[in-house]
Chains A and B, each alone.
Chain A
Amino acid sequence: MPALIYVVVVTQIPFLVTLWYSFQSYFFDVPAPAHFIGLSNYTTVFTNAAFRGSLVRSVVMTASSVIVAMLLGIAFAVLLDRKFLGRGVVRTLIITPFLVMPAAAALVWAGPMLDPNFGLLNYLLEPFGVHHVAWLSADPLVSVIAVMIWQWTPFMTLIVLAGLQGQPPDTLEAAKVDGAGALATFRELTLPHLRPYIELGILLGSIYLVNAFDAVRLMTNGGPGTSTTNLPFYLYQQVNFAFNVGGAAAAGVVTVILTIIIATFALRMFARVFQFEEAAR
């Protein structure tokens, strides 16, 4: 099993080393060698308001972007599941944001789209009474989340669409014959069928969006102040500008533990919600 060895070496060793450094005092810019300082990095992490703030923002960013992208994805998938003129073209248009390089997307949104003086969005919104809003300073967190949603909605759409198209047509026919309304059919038949697809989308989306860095670094650089600093950006700052390897490692360990807890909890909750729905039927 060469793949297993590879994955163990490349993914686990960095985390073990992370664990090791999390108990050390180690700064790049201090000539003294790393030395053991016990739990004090962890005490710092837990008492550090900057870390807690970035943690909360990370949770908010990931959760809101994944949820909104999934809801939009379901809606778009339902739209695309119907027959209409140019369906293939529309599907192509909708998946494009997912294919755009995230760094490119962030820079294009920050400049040509959202700029207060010449941005396209302000121009399009002008008839509705919006005048030269500086989106990135007025609503930085929402702007960053919106770009993340824009990039991940296509992914959710594709997954849900695959689910919709894998639905056996005869059960839907039967429901129609039985006189079930469109909404009831969707809730009672389609949604349970889509469940594994929705789960997969949420799981993969969360895994990637927890690591979201490009949009934060390139649109707002974590600011203004720390208003868009999420965990990845915080850790990036700790290593690159504070040279604090030990502190960043401790923060990293806490992040990993929290991710595992949240992921387990989220999956359990999902399973329960759907079991409940099935039992109710």
Chain B
Amino acid sequence: MTAAPLQPGPHRLREMAGRMSWGIVAWVVGLAFFLPVLWMVLTAFKPESAAETWPPQFIFTPTLSEFRLVFSGMGPFLTHSVIATVGSTIVVVLLAVPASYALSVHPVKHWRDGLFFFISTKMLPIVAAIGPLYVIALHLHLLDSIWLLIILYTAMNLPLAIWMIRSFMLEVPGELLEAARLDGAGRIREITGVILPVISPGLVSTALICVIFAWNELFLALNLTVTNAATMPMFLISSVPQEGLYIAHLSAAATVASVPVILVGWIAQRSLVRGLSMGAIK
């Protein structure tokens, strides 16, 4: 007992070495996973002639020419993507907050069935209904319309949003709600005055996840839009020509399309983790 603290040397050293080797393994894994993204960005700065060489070039004179080409053609796609993503996310939050409230703080009758129903709609593969969706959109004159994408992306993200927001609401301390009620606050006041301020970080991470999924969605856009509502993923596809060299151009387009979400995700990674894991425990 008395001798142990006097000779910490070898033990400490071994611990440090262990920590270092774990760190090295983690760094190697992390870099390996990141490599394709890095390669995408590097290739985007190459002139087309330097992008398709063997061996691949790591040192080259960077150029912005491919980016210029990309920016010149993507205007409408970018606008559609922003409208569809922001629009659907706003509608999702507006619908999900009262729904989550009715499923957590003031549970309605059969709230379990309600919650299960929301989650179960997420289990149905949307691809299964693509033909009929096309026909419905055709009859409603919504084909190739940005409204259609907003409606569908809202439906796509709503179940996950309700699930997440509900678990954040369950975390709101009961005493706070009790105090608000004693002050004579109605339901609306209770939501806007007490609950929303407390769960606002959770709302942000929910909205972020909705933004990621809506921004990246391709299947519905590809099947149901042509030009008037074509989004960024479709812009990417259009950047692959039938012939000729295109690797640098493609990489530039892919970089531009991915970077907004990557940056937002990097900045908000802590709240992303929290948001995603909340559902697991509640």
Residue of chain B at shortest CB distance from A103: B233
In the assembled complex, the CB of A25 is this many whole angstroms from the nearest CB of chain B, namely 13
Q: Which chain A residues numbered 106 to 165 have a C-beta less than 8 Å away from chain B?
A: 107-109, 111-113, 115, 117-120, 123, 150, 153-155, 158-159, 161-163
Tell me if B29 and A76 are in contact (CB < 8 A).
Answer: yes
- Select A92's contact among B26, B251, B269, beta carbons within 8 Å: B269
Tell me if B276 and A158 are in contact (CB < 8 A).
Answer: yes
In the complex, per-residue mask of B133-166: 1 if CB is within 8 Å of any chain A CB, else 0? 1111000000000000001101100110010000
Q: Which chain B residues numbered 90 to 148 have a C-beta less than 8 Å away from chain A?
A: 95-96, 98-99, 102, 108, 114, 117-118, 121-136
Is B52 positioned at the interface, with any CB of A under 8 Å from its CB? yes
Size bin of chain B's contact surface: 35 or more
Tell me if B129 and A17 are in contact (CB < 8 A).
Answer: yes
Tell me if A260 and B132 are in contact (CB < 8 A).
Answer: no
Tell me if B265 and A95 are in contact (CB < 8 A).
Answer: yes
A residues whose Cβ falls under 8 Å from a Cβ of B: 1-4, 6-7, 10-15, 17-18, 20-21, 26, 76, 79-80, 82-87, 89-105, 107-109, 111-113, 115, 117-120, 123, 150, 153-155, 158-159, 161-163, 166, 196-197, 199-200, 207, 210-211, 213-214, 217-218, 231-232, 235-236, 238-240, 244-245, 248-249, 251-253, 255-256, 259-260, 263
Q: Could you list 12 further interchain pairs (A-B, Cβ under 8 angstroms) beyond the known A7-B158, A103-B237, A207-B123?
A: A10-B151, A11-B121, A18-B131, A86-B23, A86-B27, A104-B233, A104-B253, A107-B237, A112-B43, A158-B276, A162-B277, A236-B130
B residues whose Cβ falls under 8 Å from a Cβ of A: 19-20, 22-23, 25-27, 29-31, 33-37, 39-40, 43, 51-56, 95-96, 98-99, 102, 108, 114, 117-118, 121-136, 151-152, 154-155, 158-159, 162, 212, 215-216, 218-219, 222-223, 232-233, 236-237, 240, 246-247, 250-251, 253-255, 257-258, 261-262, 265-266, 269, 272-274, 276-277, 279-281
